[in-house]
Amino acid sequence: MTTLNEQARNQIAKVITDLQHKPGALLPILHGIQDRLGYIPPESVPMIAEALNQSRADIHGVISFYHQFRSTAPGQHTVEICRAEACQSMGARQFETHVKHTLGVDYHGTTTDRSITLESVYCLGNCACAPSVRVNDQIIGRVTPEKFDGLVDELRSQKLEVQ
Contact 156, 120 (CB under 8 A): no
Q: Is 40 exposed, middle or buried (0-12, 13-18, 19+ CB in 10 A)?
A: buried
pLDDT score of 3 = 80
Mean pLDDT calculated for residue range 3-22 = 96
pLDDT score of 2 = 60
pTM: 0.80
pLDDT above 90 for 1:
no
Cite the residue boundaries of each domain of the chain with CATH code 3.40.30.10: 77-156
The architecture (CATH level 2) of 77-156 comes to: 3-Layer(aba) Sandwich (3.40)
pLDDT above 90 for 130:
yes
- Measured distance CA(36)–CA(163) in Å, rounded: 26
